[in-house]
Structure 1
C-alpha cells in the first residue's frame, strides 16, 4: 500500500466513522459563540463569566476523546482488549446524563449560559472528551481490523492523517455554526435541540454496542 493509498484509506475510514461528530461539534461551537456574544453585550452574570466556554475547550476535548479512541484501537490491534465491546456502550450514559441535566437546568438559564451548566469544575473540555469518546465507541470496531492490515509506517501515516482530520472536522463544525440560518435556529431552539441530541446520542451508543441486550441478559 503506497503513501497516497494509505492516506486515502485513512481519510475514508475517518470520514465514515465521524460524520455524526460534525453535527455535535456544530452544536457545541454554536453555543460557545452564543455565550461569547452574550458576554460581549454585557448581559452576563459573574458566575457565567467564571464558567466561560471557549472554542479551544471544544477542540482540546475533541482531540482528547479521539486520542483515547485511537489508543484503545491500537491496543486492541496488538491483542490488548481492555473493555468488552458491549460494555463500551455504557459510555452512552454520559451524553444521556448531560442531556437530562440540560433539560432540567436549561429552563432557568439564559441562552449564553447553557454550556456553562455542563462546565463542572471549569473543565468543559473533559465533558467534550467524554462525549467524543462515547460517540466513537463503534469506531473501534472499524479501526481495529483496519489497523491490523497496516505495517508500522502505514500505521503512523494513518494516525497522523486521523489527527489532521480532527482539526478539519473542528473547523467545519466551527464554520457551520457561523452560518446565519444555523446560528439563528440554534440560538432560538438550542436549549431544546442540544438536550435531545445528547440523549438521542446516548441511546444510540447503547443500542449500537448492544449494551441494553447485555444488561438484559444479566437480569434475565
Structure 2
C-alpha cells in the first residue's frame, strides 16, 4: 500500500506542476473569501472530472478522443487571456482579474477554473489512463484519495507562494499584461503539445 501511495503522489506531481504558476496568479488576485473558495472548488472539480474520465477510459467504458481534439480545449485559456487583455485595458480602474474571469460565458469563477484545469488535461489523461490500468479495485480508491489530498497540498502551496511579498508585488505591478500572457501562452502550449496545429495545417 505504501508503494501505491508513493506512485500516486509521483503521478499527480508529474501532471499538476503545470497548474502551479496559474494558481499562484489566481490566488494573488483574491481579496474576498468566496473568490478563494471558488478557485479551490474549481481545481477540485476539474481534477475529479479528469480522474473519473481517466478511470472509465482505463476500464474500457468510454473512449477518449484523439489527443489533438482534447488539445482544442487550449482555446479556453486563449479566449480568457484575450478577454482580460481587452477588457482589463478598458476598465483597469473598475475591474479586477477575477471579476473578468467570472463574467460573460463563465458566470461563476469556479467554472472558469474548472475549464482551465480541463483544458490542461491532455497530459493528465496520457499519464492517468495507463496508470489506472495497473491498479486493482482496492488500490483505485486509495489513489483517488491521495490525488484529492494532493490537490489540497497544491492549492495550499500556491496560496502561500502567492502571499510571498516579493511575488505578490511583482504580480500586482505587472498583472495587466502578465495574466493575459500566461493564459494565452498556456493555451498555445496546450495546442502545440497536443499536435493541434500540426493536424490543422498538414491537412
Please give the range of the TM-score, normalised by the shorter of the 2 chains: over 0.9
Q: Deviations over 1:12-49 (max 9, x none)?
A: 0000111121111110000114xx4xxxxxxxxxxxxx
Q: Partners in 1 of 2:129 and 2:42 — Cα distance?
A: 23
**How big is the shift at 1:53?**
5.8
- Which position in structure 2 is the counterpart of 1:103? 85
2:163 maps to 1:178: yes
Q: Partners in 1 of 2:122 and 2:141 — Cα distance?
A: 21
- Which position in structure 2 is the counterpart of 1:148? 133
2:195 maps to 1:214: no
Following TM superposition, the consecutive aligned residue runs of length 4 or more in structure 1 with deviations greater than 4 angstroms are none
Unpaired runs of 5+ residues, structure 1, are 37-51
**How big is the shift at 1:163?**
0.7
Q: Give the greater-gyration-radius structure (CA).
A: 1
Q: Partners in 2 of 1:182 and 1:173 — Cα distance?
A: 11
Question: Could you tell me which of 11, 14, 24 is aligned with 1:13?
Answer: 11
CA contact (8 A) 1:60 1:125 kept: yes
Q: Partners in 2 of 1:53 and 1:200 — Cα distance?
A: 27
> 1:22-41 to 2 correspondence within 5 Å?
22-33=20-31, 36=32
Q: Partners in 2 of 1:92 and 1:73 — Cα distance?
A: 19
Q: Partners in 1 of 2:22 and 2:166 — Cα distance?
A: 17
Q: Partners in 1 of 2:75 and 2:44 — Cα distance?
A: 21
How many residue pairs end up in the alignment?
199
TM-score of the superposed pair, with normalisation by structure 2: 0.93
- Report SS of the residue matched to 2:45: helix
- Report SS of the residue matched to 1:32: coil
- Which position in structure 1 is the counterpart of 2:179? 194
TM-score of the superposed pair, with normalisation by structure 1: 0.86
Q: Over the residues paired in the alignment, what is the CA RMSD in angstroms? A: 1.6
Q: Partners in 2 of 1:112 and 1:189 — Cα distance?
A: 15
Q: Partners in 2 of 1:7 and 1:111 — Cα distance?
A: 47
Q: Deviations over 1:127-176 (max 9, x none)?
A: 00000111122110011111111111111111110011001111111111
Q: Partners in 2 of 1:110 and 1:11 — Cα distance?
A: 42
